[in-house]
Every structure is written in C-alpha cells, then in structure tokens.
Structure 1
C-alpha cells in the first residue's frame, strides 16, 4: 500500500512517486494513493504533514485500511502517473521537535515522580499531556522541566528499532505498546524507551528547549501545557512584546510590573466603588426631583433613553421608599435602541397589582417579565414608542 519514506528517513524533503489509485472517501472527498510517500498521516497524537504534490496543496493525509490517502486542494490531471512531491519542512520539523520533546518531558515526570502520561495532543500553538495525578506542585514541574532540558543539552542519540512483541519485552518500556507486531521503538538510551509511530530527529539536541507553560486539574488527572523547539522562541517573542507594551503603558520597569498592575487594579476597584456610590446619589436626587415634580399626584411616571432595567429598578425603589404617603405608584419606561424596558412599582401590595399591569403592557411588545403585586418589570421589542408605552401604563392604572 505504499512505502513509508518518513520511517526510512524523516529528513526527506522531496520525493518522486507513482500513482497507485485515486478514490473518494465516504464524505465524497477525493484522494490519491502513491506507491511511496514521505507524507506522515495523522496518528499517535501527531498531525499530518502538509506540502504539495505536482504543485497542488496537500490538505490532509490519513492512513485508512493500510493505504495512505493524500487529499489534494484540486484534482490531478487524469494523464498523470508520476508525481513530484515536496514536504512542508518547517511543519514537519516542528512536529519532530514537539513530539520528541513530549517523549522527553513525559519520561522526566515518569522517572522522577512515577507520573504516567495517559493523554497527548500536539496542537498548532501548544502541546498538552495528561498526567495520571490529581495534583502537581510548582517544584515538581520545575524539576521535571530541568531534567528534560538536561537530556536535550546532552544531545543523546535517538535510536529507532522495529521489534517483535517478544523482543520488546526485553526493554524497560515506559508504557505497554498497543500493537503486538511490527513494534516501532523510539529509544533515548538510559532515559526513555517508548513504542511510537511518529517522526523524530536524530538526537535530543535538535529539540532545542522544552518549556512548561501551565497546568490545570482535569477530573482526576493533570493537564500540562508546554512548548518545544522553535515554539519556545515564538512564545518568548510574544510574551516579550506584551511585556514591553505594558512597561510603556504603565511607565514601570519589568521587575516592578506585577506591583504596578496590582496598584492599578486596586485603583480601578476603588474608582468603580466611588462611581457606584456617586451613581446611587444621582439616582436619589433624580428620585426626589421626580417626586417633587409630581407633588399631589398619585403616580410618578417618566420616559428615559438607554437606561438599563437595573437602573429603572433602583430608581423605582428609591421613589416608593422616599414617598411620604406610602401610596405613590411609580411607572418608568426606557427605550434602548430596538427594545423597551419598563418597571411598575408601589409601596404596598394592596390594591392595584403591578404584576398584572406590567403583564398587560408587555403583550403590546412581545415582551417577557415578572415580579410581584408590588413590584414588576420586563422588556420587549420597541413596537411602540416609549411615550406610547407610558401612556398605556397610565391608562391601565386609571382603569384599575
């Protein structure tokens, strides 16, 4: 079903092959199978290789029923029998660095703390491994990272062997292999022995560096985020840009950044509290103004623009609490773009039901709401103007 050149030499960047067959998968996607290929198919946590075949972009590579299918951006000419293919080497080498770095870091956690790796994902930006432990300390993470980078620094040769199940039993495998024949071992001598079908460099030094970014509890496991190789440099560049931008915005050196941010957050919290208190005072004066302008009337009513229902509720409560006779009815309406909000309130639950009044009015605007006989609110579509809604509420109150 085609020679796997990526196993013969993971450093192959281009190759020539003959077309064995063309076909469609169950979703109707066209693919081509070659007599040999250097394109790695998705598997074992490692994504597929990209590149071109006859200058046509390879969109996906999968191994299905023993054949490696290459999905192309457009069809090959029917007369084509031999093709020239080029691997996206930057993507391939990135995957080699990340996958090998994962082996090293997983082995470090295993060797130091007996934390087994039970899950692995190689993403476009970061990698994750799931460790079989409910908790992970900062000290443990630092020790594992240091050991992993020491193995990288020592530039240990990486050996790949094909063995039988019986032969595999002679090696101290980090985990049991899923396959029982044609087992492929990836060996970092005296450190890690692991069954794996991925692509790896010749020596650990090509991984360059391993950096743990973060971790979190996932059910009874710990999910660890990290990067290797060139991704470490990219992460450093990204974080350095953010840090440099913050130093200018906060006018603070890098060493004082954390303290500056804490001071800023405390100031923001204090300012928000002051604004909230000021807003409460403004609502109080607004309520007194509405009561004064409605002196002698049993209903206080007003139309607003762009006031939230929460503001209307606060204002209505202040009005009914400030009323000296405890018998005032408060009707407030606000138009917010294409919606209307309304609040109906009074001090006592006796007499007219505010819930009934609001429910009746809300039918005009396909609205929803709720509340009690003394205090109700709701909102809906602005099918009528705010003035028309207030007039309707006044008529409903008068009718009661």
Structure 2
C-alpha cells in the first residue's frame, strides 16, 4: 500500500480505514488518502481518529502516519482520517504551478532540463538546467506566461503509461530521481499532463484545471549549483500579498522620483546615471583635494634623507595610499597620517628607506599593526592622535 490514492484522488479529504500496525506513534492503515512526503512535496497534515497527524512517510511500500501522541485506537479498529484541507489545497496549487512554470520555460529556454523541485509553507522552488541566462527579463516573461496559462483554464490530468512509451516521448520531463528510481522498479510511470502545455513524470497531488492555481508571483532566482538556476515563486493569497507589497514599493519609488509607474523604469535609469556621474565627479574632486594636501606636506631631513610628512582628514587609508605614491615626487619618503578616531599611517618610499620599517617604527611606539613592501606600506589601529605621530616622525 502506497500513497497513490492521495495522488489519484486529490480532492478526497475524509475516509475510513482499518488500522494494520501501530508502533508507538507510528500508524499504518490498510489504505490511506494522506500523501506521504516525496518528490519535493511535503506530506499531508490532518487527524487520524482524534489524534493529530504531524508527518507521513513511505517505508518499504507502506505509508506510515506519524502522530503527535500515541493513539487511543488499536490494530484492527476502523478509524476516520481527515486531511487538512487548506494545506492539501495549497500543495495541489503549488505543485501544479511548478509544472506550469516548467511549461513556460519550454517556450523561452534552450537545452532545458529539470534539476529539482520543493514546496515549503512560504514558497515553491524549481531548479532549471539550461544554457539560457535567466535574467530579470526572463523572470518577467516566465511569470507572464505562467499566469496566462492559468487564465487559459487548461485541463490537468494524470495517467499511468508504460515506461517504454514514456522513454520514447521527448516532451515528458523527468528528473534524475524519477529515472533512477521509478524506471528501475516499475513497468509504468505516472504522467501528469497540462493540456497543450506540459508533460511530466510525477507522483504528486494536482488541481484538475490551471484556473484553480490562482495568481502566481515569482520571487527571484539564485544558483544552487553548477549549471542550475533556482526560480522561487508563491501562489494564491501569499502571491496576492506579495504583489501588493511590490505595487506599494513601486508607487513609493515613483512618488520619490516625481513620476508615474509607466515611466518609473526610464526615470530611475536616468536618476542612476546622474548619480553615477556625480559620484565620479566627486571622486575626481576628492582626488584633487587630496593631492593638494599631500603637496603641502612639510619637508624635513632625517638621517640625510628628505621626508615629506603631514596629516590628512576625510580620507581612508586606501585613498591616501594611492595618492601618496604619486605625491612623493623627489622626496625619499612621504608619510601621511590619517586624522580619525582610528588613526592610520601610509608610507611611500623610493626604496632606500624601507616603507615597512617606517610603519613598524610608528606601531612600535604607539601600538597598532601593519606592513608592506620596501616601497609602500601602511598601518592602522595606532593608539595616538595624528599630531603626536607627526611630532614623533619629525624628530
């Protein structure tokens, strides 16, 4: 006995059955309409007798109902099973929606293969194997095609066919588990067909028409492994809520940019381009200011070498480092001390004085750490203000 009754009769929510085995909280019936977890679909929930069913699994061909506590019935008793209607309906919609999504992918992706599937309480995932880049435009088109197929009220049906016939039909989608598991142990395979749209080997529960799925919203994409693209979506009420949140965000963005939804994309693109130009101009201006400050550093003589020493504020160590290399000029060494809550030191040298030695000299005196090459080094975490470090370097 397996959970095929649930897959073949997905609208059944209540049934009578005989108890054939009890092991603590694990119960087996002579037949069941509870769906056992498998193929990416979670198990049904519900009650058996008066006890909550928390999980259903298939073990060696038997469907085992895990209860929240030990039952008050015995082997041989007739019990009533009630499948949680809301969760079963959600799983039917979500599972069928994954097939509709794959059918949509057939229209726009090349070298398409099935890489995995899973339903959670919040969302559904489908993993695609394809050479096509699944970018934002592809997600938009996937969602459009799926919701159009839902609106077209396409019939959904299922049947067992010989494995040999399934192998010959190129339109049928399989995953690795189906090929290695079902084909290895059975002469037939269950095919779920969405009229004129998708054909897949599947043992899950499904609605009888795509219109029952309701609205679908794609949430995003990710890369779970090499050659795979994961697309996540939500259906039904959660899709409606997600769409409302996105719509609200779009209205807020349009209002902030002083435009309407129709022009939001182009106006946002223009705003980003303008921001990037301003940021580039700001970087150039900061670089000019920094170069000017470094050029004004005091020149001192230490051990017969010419040092340029000074402090800067409003710049990080990396910015100062790049500028110091160019600002050293004819000096043997340039040392810039950063004025901040966490002072740093940057040293650029012609090579006669090792830049790393200068950093070590400062950190040995004031704490912190750092290092670098003979011609460039920097240190941070210095435990003294910039003016004390400068006075130390100038002596």
Residues 231-290 of structure 1: CA deviation (Å, up to 9, x unaligned)? 553443232121111112112111221222122112211221232233224324433554
Cα separation, partners in 2 of 1:290 and 1:47, compared to 1, 3 Å: same
- TM-score by length of structure 1 reads 0.70
Q: Give the direction of change, closer, same or farther, for the CA distance of 1:262–1:66 in structure 2 (3 Å limit).
A: same
Aligned match for 2:268, one of 228, 243, 261? 261
Partner of 2:93: 97
Structure 1 partner of 2:102: 106
Evaluate the alpha carbon distance shift between residue 153 and residue 315 of structure 1 in structure 2; reply closer, same or farther with a 3 A threshold: closer
> Which residue matches 2:317?
309
The answer for unaligned runs of 5 or more in structure 2 is none
Deviation at 1:296, TM superposition (A): 7.7
1-structure distance, mates of 2:35, 2:206: 12
1:92, CA displacement in angstroms? 2.8
- SS class of match (1:11): coil
- The 5 A counterparts of 1:68-147 are 68-69=63-64, 76-77=69-70, 87-107=83-103, 110=106, 116-123=112-119, 124-134=122-132
Structure 2 match to 1:355: 356
Q: 1:88 to 1:287 in 2, by over 3 A?
A: farther
Equivalent residues of 1:303, 1:386 under 8 A apart: no
Specify which of 202, 209, 212 is matched with residue 208 of structure 2: 202
CA distance in 2, matches of 1:288, 1:167: 81
Aligned partner of residue 161 in structure 1, secondary structure = strand
- Describe the shift of the 1:386–1:199 C-alpha distance in structure 2 as closer, same or farther (beyond 3 A): same
SS in 1 for 2:262: helix
C-alpha contact 1:333 1:390 (8 A) present in aligned 2: no
- Structure 2 counterpart of 1:28: none
Contact 2:293–2:312 (CA under 8 A) maintained in structure 1: no
* 1:277 paired to 2:284: yes
Q: Which moved more, 1:152-161 or 1:132-141?
A: 132-141
Q: 2:249 matched to which residue of 1?
A: 242
Encode CA deviations 1:267-323: one digit per residue, 9 max, x unaligned: 2112212322332243244335542xx6788555456778521243256446533xx
Cα RMSD after superposing both structures: 4.8
1: CA distance, partners of 2:263 / 2:336: 53
Query: In the superposition, relative to structure 1, how do residues 91 and 78 fare at CA in structure 2: closer, same or farther (>3 Å)?
Result: closer
C-alpha separation between the residues in 1 aligned to 2:263 and 2:107?
Answer: 38
Match of 2:371 in 1: 369
Indicate how the Cα distance of structure 1 residues 255 and 63 shifts in structure 2: closer, same or farther if over 3 A, else same.
same
Q: Secondary structure at the match of 1:45?
A: coil
SS of 2:37's partner is coil
Cα distance in 1 between the residues matched to 2:331 and 2:206: 81
Tell me which residue corresponds to 1:63. 58
Answer yes or no: is the 8 Å Cα contact 1:161–1:185 preserved in 2. Answer: yes
In 1, Cα distance between equivalents of 2:33 and 2:39:
17
Alpha carbons 2:34, 2:56 under 8 Å: kept: yes
Structure 2 Cα separation of the partners of residues 147 and 286 of structure 1: 60
Compared CA separation, residues 266 and 158, structure 1 to 2 (3 A): closer
| Matched-pair contact (CA < 8 Å) for 1:49–1:92 | yes
Displacement of 1:328 after TM fit?
5.5
Alpha carbons 2:172, 2:200 under 8 Å: kept? yes
Q: Distance in 2 between matches of 1:45 and 1:134?
A: 24
User: 2:70 and 2:221 mapped to 1: Cα distance?
Assistant: 49
2:39 to 44, 59, 65: 44
**Whole-Å separation in 1 of the counterparts to 2:231 and 2:209:** 24
Structure 1: runs of 5 or more not aligned: 24-30
SS in 1 for 2:285: helix
Tell me if structure 1 keeps the 8 A contact 2:339–2:386.
Answer: no
